[in-house]
């Protein structure tokens, strides 16, 4: 069904639209939506981080050139399809990859190149702060970057007047407001879920920790203000309008929603912001997020705590390895087909092999595999070796072989999720699945349901990801009438959305439990491979 061009043009001219822009690690994406959150136009710009002096970074020039090009590509599409220019918008929202460190002096000058989330240079700070707060502070968090700079006696720290994330920086430059959405803020510094602000007790602990260093600042004074979804976060200034639209057509005064992180916009785009729900993204890497009803009893290295854009606590398990080894094995079968002189259809090949896994023994017939192309934090590996191991009496069939490779793709994530289910008694009503693992209908979904013993939903149509998520948050700010974000999403965004829900099969669950015990015992084999191969 095509769009009504005339009605859409009128909506664009009247500013009955919302614009969401997200800075991902390889692509900047802009999505323009109408009042029903349906996509009108998309603009993109590809970019890459640089390794400068052993720090992963993006230059300020790359940030602004990328934003401007992305916006121009969107404006071009609007012009081509609807024969009109964008002069105003209902609202704008910005989102970006979370964490990292952008520090400025009192003249608003960047003190050191932007340090992105990819840098693993803050281990000492991460460990000390985790101990101090009794709260897990991952290396990529902004506070870990600040404290590591203090430990290294970096010259710039005394001059810090403000530090923020990439999303916070862009929002500040376009609106003049030093604010962050609570989801994004939760990757800078721990949030108190009762106040939805930075944790004051921990701020005081940090100030005491660095008191003898003689800085002229206190932590609370140099961090952004925390806002929640639906709050007004300022308006586009004259300077901001020119920064975003270099042609000068876009007018100032457009309301802006709180800038968010890619975790929060991903939750919005998959309709998983409500307590007792979550989402799992399974592709090259895999992460799962569970929206909690209460604080955890203690800190766990395997779990990162962030929040939804409304400030509900979310436990996140992130694993580096998921489908890469599975894809490598499928390619072996592709080579075999080609060697036999057969024409290969990759969709058919994946579908056939994935479906074959469903015929295997519940516990994979005693087979064992590790999909570790790289290290895996959850199981304590700094590097990885993909492995396939079996006993002479294991049932080595194609079905079991495919099944064990699907199971192991979720091995590390299961260990993290089991902490929530078995040690913290967290119950989820359902989890939303998205990513490459779910492409073959019913297979990835069935395996994930078995791994985490929770119903798994997969939407028939995938949205436009985080850029769409932040556009929805911009519309929510304009349209909300007191309802929660979750109620708004159910009514205004996902009401007609087709999705398939799959309950866990008891035999599959028991089979996965047997497999994971074998997986844990076999980690010494993986360790030997890393040490000797």
Closest CA to 527 of 324, 408, 380: 380
Terminal CA-to-CA distance of the chain, rounded, Å?
Answer: 56
Contact 396, 403 (CB under 8 A): no
Location of structure tokens 């791994």: 451
Instruction: Provide the residue ranges of all domains of the chain, joining segments of one domain with +.
Output: 324-409+507-532
How far are the Cα atoms of 331, 348, 355, 399, 401 from residue 344, in angstroms, in the given order?
A: 10, 8, 17, 20, 21
b/e per residue, 435-458, with b = 16+ CB within 10 A? Answer: bbbbebeebbbbbbbbbbbbebbb
Return the bridge partners of 432, or none.
279, 457
Q: What local confidence, expressed as pLDDT, does residue 118 receive?
A: 84
Per-residue confidence in pLDDT tens, the chain, 533 aa = 578 999 999 999 999 999 999 999 889 999 999 999 999 999 999 999 998 998 999 999 999 999 999 999 999 999 999 999 999 999 999 999 999 999 999 999 999 999 998 888 899 999 999 999 999 999 999 999 999 999 999 999 999 999 999 999 999 999 999 999 999 999 999 999 999 999 999 999 999 999 999 999 999 999 999 999 999 999 999 999 999 999 999 999 999 999 999 999 999 999 999 999 999 999 888 999 999 999 999 999 999 999 999 999 999 999 999 999 999 999 999 999 999 999 999 999 999 999 999 999 999 999 999 999 999 989 999 899 999 999 999 999 999 999 999 999 999 999 999 999 999 999 999 999 988 899 898 999 999 999 999 999 998 765 678 999 999 999 999 999 999 999 999 999 998 888 899 999 999 999 999 999 999 999 999 999 999 99
- Six token digits for residue 349: 């090949």
Residue 19 main-chain phi, psi, to 5 deg: -115, 130
Antiparallel, parallel or unpaired: β 304-307 and 313-319:
antiparallel
Which alpha helices (DSSP H) does 423-505 contain, by range?
443-452, 465-479, 485-488
Q: Which residue has the tokens 């579908």?
A: 351
**pLDDT tens-digit series, residues 269-324:** 999 999 999 999 998 889 999 999 999 999 999 999 999 999 999 999 999 999 99
Give me 376's structure tokens.
Answer: 């895996």
Cα dihedral 122, 123, 124, 128 sign = positive
Q: How far apart are CA 409 and CA 386, in angstroms?
A: 11
CA distances from 253 to 22, 87, 236, 238, 391 (A): 21, 11, 5, 8, 69
Please choose, from the candidates 443, 321, 319, 442, the residue with its C-alpha nearest in 3D space to the C-alpha of residue 385.
321
Task: Please choose, from the candidates 489, 517, 498, the residue with its C-alpha nearest in 3D space to the C-alpha of residue 418.
Answer: 517
Q: Are 524 and 381 in contact (CB under 8 A)?
A: no
Q: Name which of 51, 306, 16, 287 is nearest 185 in CA terms.
A: 306
DSSP character for 90? Answer: S
Q: In the chain, count H helices and then E strands.
A: 19, 22
> Do the beta carbons of residue 30 and residue 71 sit within 8 Å?
yes
**Per-residue pLDDT, 462:** 58
What residues have CB less than 8 Å from 168, skipping those under 6 apart?
Answer: 102, 178, 179, 180, 184, 224, 259
- Give yes or no for a contact between 83 and 145, defined as CB atoms under 8 angstroms apart: no
Q: Residue 313: how many CA atoms within 13 Å on its side-chain side?
A: 18
């Amino acid at each position: 069904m095509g769009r009504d061009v005339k009605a859409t043009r009128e909506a664009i001219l009247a500013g009955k639209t919302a614009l969401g822009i997200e800075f991902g690690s390889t692509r900047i994406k802009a999505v323009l939506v109408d009042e029903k959150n349906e996509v009108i136009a998309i603009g993109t710009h590809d970019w890459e981080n640089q390794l400068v002096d052993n720090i992963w970074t993006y230059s300020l020039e790359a940030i602004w050139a990328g934003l401007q090009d992305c916006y121009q590509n969107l404006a071009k599409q609007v012009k081509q399809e609807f024969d009109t220019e964008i002069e105003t918008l209902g609202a704008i929202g910005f989102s970006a990859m979370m964490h990292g460190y952008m520090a400025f002096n009192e003249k608003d000058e960047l003190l050191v190149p932007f340090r992105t989330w990819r840098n693993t240079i803050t281990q000492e700070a991460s460990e000390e702060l985790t101990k101090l707060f009794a709260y897990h502070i991952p290396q990529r968090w902004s506070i870990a970057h600040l404290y590591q700079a203090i430990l290294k006696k970096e010259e710039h720290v005394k001059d810090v007047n403000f530090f923020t994330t990439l999303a916070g920086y862009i929002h500040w430059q376009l609106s003049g407001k030093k604010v962050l959405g609570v989801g994004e803020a939760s990757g800078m510094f721990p949030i108190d879920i009762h106040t939805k602000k930075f944790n004051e007790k921990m701020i005081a602990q940090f100030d005491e920790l660095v008191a003898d260093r003689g800085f002229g600042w206190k932590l609370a004074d140099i961090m952004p203000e925390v806002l929640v979804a639906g709050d007004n976060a300022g308006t586009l200034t004259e300077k901001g309008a020119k920064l975003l639209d270099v042609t000068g057509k876009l007018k100032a005064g457009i309301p802006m929603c709180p800038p968010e992180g890619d975790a929060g916009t991903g939750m919005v785009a998959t309709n998983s912001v409500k307590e007792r729900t979550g989402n799992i993204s399974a592709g090259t890497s895999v992460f799962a997020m569970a929206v909690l009803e209460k604080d955890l009893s203690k800190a766990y290295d395997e779990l990162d705590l962030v929040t939804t854009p409304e400030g509900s606590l979310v436990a996140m398990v992130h694993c580096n390895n998921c489908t890469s080894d599975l894809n490598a094995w499928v390619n072996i079968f592709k080579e075999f087909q080609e060697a036999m002189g057969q024409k290969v259809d990759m969709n058919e090949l994946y579908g056939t092999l994935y479906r074959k896994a469903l015929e295997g023994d519940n516990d994979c017939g005693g087979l064992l595999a590790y999909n570790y192309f790289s290290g895996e934090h959850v199981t304590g590996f700094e590097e990885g070796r993909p492995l396939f191991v079996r006993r002479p009496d294991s049932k080595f069939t194609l079905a079991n072989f495919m099944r064990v490779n699907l199971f192991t793709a979720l091995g590390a994530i299961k260990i993290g999720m089991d902490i929530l289910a078995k040690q913290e008694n967290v119950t989820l009503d359902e989890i939303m699945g998205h990513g490459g693992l779910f492409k073959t209908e019913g297979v990835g979904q069935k395996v994930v349901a078995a791994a985490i013993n929770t119903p798994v939903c997969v939407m028939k149509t995938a949205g436009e990801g985080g850029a769409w998520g932040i556009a929805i948050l911009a519309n929510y700010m304009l349209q909300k009438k007191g309802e929660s974000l979750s109620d708004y999403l159910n009514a205004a965004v996902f009401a007609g959305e087709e999705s398939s829900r799959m309950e866990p099969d008891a035999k599959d669950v028991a089979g996965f439990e047997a497999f994971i015990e074998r997986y844990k015992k076999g980690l010494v084999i993986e360790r030997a491979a890393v040490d000797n191969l």
